Structure 1
Amino acid sequence: MGVDYYNILKVNRNATADDLKKSYRRLAMIWHPDKNINKQEAEAKFKQISEAYDVLSDPQKRHIYDLCGEEGLKSGQVPNPTRAARNRHQGFHHNHQQHPNPSFRFNPRNANDIYAEIFGENSNGNASSSSNGGGNGIRREGYFRSTTMNSGEGARKAPPLENVLVCGLEELYGGVTRKMKISRNVFDGHGHPHLVEEIVTIDVKPGWKKGTKITFPEKGNEEPGIIPADVIFVLDERSHPVYTRDGNDLIVKQEITLLESLTGKTLELTTLDGRNISVPLTEIIKPGHEVVVPNEGMPISKDPRKKGSLRIQIDVKYPKRFTEGQKYELRRVLG
């Protein structure tokens, strides 16, 4: 049995050009390979949708298809009487004697070209053609970056869905890759919603700050007449037992004794990436003193080779009491 392009595109046989375009938009968004976990199935569906639109939106191809069916369209030959009779029963009206255009040759358009034409080639910069074996080749990279401005005249976009992504300071210091699961409702080829799950990858870069947003365009639930929401992950910082962050700087609090504040001490610290560093205190330290160690803070996200400072805030622990002998010695030494 020949392919029924009208059924594939979910339109009736009197569909206008606008009807075809609207149906193509909806089905292309549902079945694009980049929006489905089962890439193989989605790619096959997407090719069918593209070919159906290609045929029905072209007056000459549609006329030949209506007269001769898929077999006559693609082969250039009028189908046999049995096939023709069946197609007449399905609504086709065949001329058994002659192809309506003997010089016609069916050349299906590239699926990417059709998509670029419908959704707008200049809107995302990635809908260019691909010669993927001719016909209906599909290039996946960046194909569905954003359809916010091109998903249908007057279409409203659902508000973004925000999720919190919590990372520790060690992860924000060195960078980390996180895999997150997204669950959402999408429409199948018959317009019925079903739940799909997708794993998205987030590459957290060294130096990213609290509040950084990572956006996955149009990964929200699909609803009729509404462009799916963007899914956004908002970065948050988990508190650290030793360090706190202030912009690109790291702050650590250290307590020393009165004797150490007067005679000196070497502080031993372990950095967020596991290195041990020594910071000598050679001056007399007063309570509230801050020692700044350059280039030992957080990486600067725009240039991770550079870092902020490590700021050591020092408190001096005083004795609760002195004996008379200790007081005597202090007066003698300190004058």
Structure 2
Amino acid sequence: MGKDYYDILGIKKAYRKQALRYHPDKNKSPGAEDKFKEIAEAYDVLSDPKKKDIYDRFGEEGLKGGGPTGPGGGGPGTFSYTFQGDPHAIFAEFFGGRNPFEQFFGGHNGDENMDTDDPFSHFGMGGSGMGGFPRSFSTGMGGMGGMGGMGSHTSVVKKQQDPPVVHDLKVTLEEVLSGCTKKMKITRKRLNPDRRTIRTEDKILEVQIKKGWKEGTKITFPKEGDETPRNIPADVVFVLKDKPHPVFKRDGSDVVYTAKISLRDALCGCTINAPTLDSRTVTVTSTDIVHPGMKRRISGEGLPYPKRPDRRGDLIVEYEVKFPERLTQSARDTIAQVLPRS
């Protein structure tokens, strides 16, 4: 006779603590790993309506294709089941990825000598049958994915997402002008296929910098942070920061260039060649007196507008007048004669 899955899950009131008792992390006795796998296999069958129905009618032989099949035998036809699941992954999913030993047993860490009459009472699963499950428990549980009988009571073990991991991403004004792709390497923790052990790996994230993006723009990569059995990985967020520029200052979509001119040029008029972000120069002529802090605006020579990258802000030329450190007496006399007193 094949395995009796109902018996494996504990007609004798054992299932309430079997998953915890036979977990290999807690039970080092011979056969515990096999027993733990049997419990997971039984759970996989009985929590799936189709597999449970075949098992109820034909037993393990019929479920696994070994019993009478087809119309003549009344069996399940071509259906054949083989357990392919990871018992540790099922265990982790059942308990929401957290440490149930700590939750149920606190500081005693799952001591089997403790009174563990009903560790699943937190889930509202007391009653008769398989250690708290009625024989037809799959009706209320909706299979491994839904598990309605448990889902409404498992908020205490619901995984929480870690807070975002924020990195500054420095860009030049030239990169903002043309747009670019930045490749950022991050080091993170990831679960191995057994869903228990953790590896450290590097990953390259490609950040698309679009034309005109302003400082403070955030680019989010969902769930690329550290992963453990107990968490939802954090989002990785890059925040744009402008690198200091040797020539320009940024003012939104405008760029500011400071032109230093002499007092003579400020009074008599001057022409300067102002540089641009794309390595050209524009000629700016002033015939009027230039006051300190005076500005000239050259349209369309700034950065692209973030929402209208086909249009650009302005280049602002800001004058800085350099006063002489000393004057000869002759120069003083000349200036005194020429300039008005008020």
TM-score, normalising length: structure 1: 0.58
Shift of 1:160: 0.8
1:313 to 295, 313, 318: 318
Give the alignment of 1:293-304 within 5 angstroms: 293-304=298-309
Question: Compared with structure 1, are the counterparts of its residues 328 and 189 closer, same or farther at alpha carbon in structure 2 (3 Å cutoff)?
Answer: closer
| Letter in structure 2 aligned against 1:101 | P
Shift of 1:217: 0.3
2:204 to 199, 204, 207: 199
Contact 2:178 2:211 in 1 (8 A): yes
Shift of 1:101: 2.5
1:100 to 63, 75, 96: 75
| Letter in structure 2 aligned against 1:177 | T
1:67 is aligned to 61
1:255 to 256, 260, 265: 260
After superposition, give the CA deviation of every residue in 1:264-305 in whole Å (9 maximum; x if it has no partner): 222112211222221122221112211122222221111112
Aligned alpha-carbon RMSD (Å): 3.4
Shift of 1:233: 1.0
After superposition, give the CA deviation of every residue in 1:192-239 in whole Å (9 maximum; x if it has no partner): 111222211101111112211111000111122321110111111110
Contact 1:300 1:308 in 2 (8 A): yes
1:180 is aligned to 184
Secondary structure at 1:166's aligned position in 2?
strand
2:135 is aligned to none
| Letter in structure 1 aligned against 2:285 | P
CA–CA distance in structure 2, aligned partners of residues 13 and 281 of structure 1: 94
| Letter in structure 1 aligned against 2:298 | V
CA–CA distance in structure 1, aligned partners of residues 181 and 216 of structure 2: 17
2:165 is aligned to 161
CA–CA distance in structure 1, aligned partners of residues 338 and 190 of structure 2: 81
| Letter in structure 1 aligned against 2:49 | P
Contact 2:51 2:63 in 1 (8 A): no
Shift of 1:331: 5.1
Identity %: 38
Question: Compared with structure 1, are the counterparts of its residues 210 and 13 closer, same or farther at alpha carbon in structure 2 (3 Å cutoff)?
Answer: farther
Shift of 1:58: 3.9
Contact 2:63 2:76 in 1 (8 A): no
| Letter in structure 1 aligned against 2:75 | P
2:327 to 292, 310, 322: 322
Give the alignment of 1:26-45 within 5 angstroms: none
Contact 2:257 2:317 in 1 (8 A): yes
Contact 2:190 2:199 in 1 (8 A): yes
1:218 to 214, 219, 223: 223
Shift of 1:246: 1.6
Contact 1:174 1:273 in 2 (8 A): no
CA–CA distance in structure 2, aligned partners of residues 230 and 212 of structure 1: 15
CA–CA distance in structure 1, aligned partners of residues 183 and 171 of structure 2: 13
CA–CA distance in structure 2, aligned partners of residues 242 and 262 of structure 1: 25
Looking at both structures, which has the greater relative contact order when contacts are Cα pairs under 8 Å and sequence separation is at least 6? 2
CA–CA distance in structure 1, aligned partners of residues 169 and 227 of structure 2: 24
CA–CA distance in structure 2, aligned partners of residues 206 and 60 of structure 1: 55
Secondary structure at 1:326's aligned position in 2?
helix
Report runs of 4+ in structure 1 exceeding 2 Å deviation. Answer: 12-15, 53-70, 94-99, 152-155, 318-335
Contact 1:269 1:276 in 2 (8 A): yes
Where in structure 1 are there 5+ consecutive unaligned residues? 1-5, 7-11, 16-52, 73-77, 79-93, 107-151
| Letter in structure 1 aligned against 2:163 | P
Contact 2:262 2:321 in 1 (8 A): yes
CA–CA distance in structure 2, aligned partners of residues 290 and 209 of structure 1: 23
CA–CA distance in structure 1, aligned partners of residues 172 and 224 of structure 2: 26
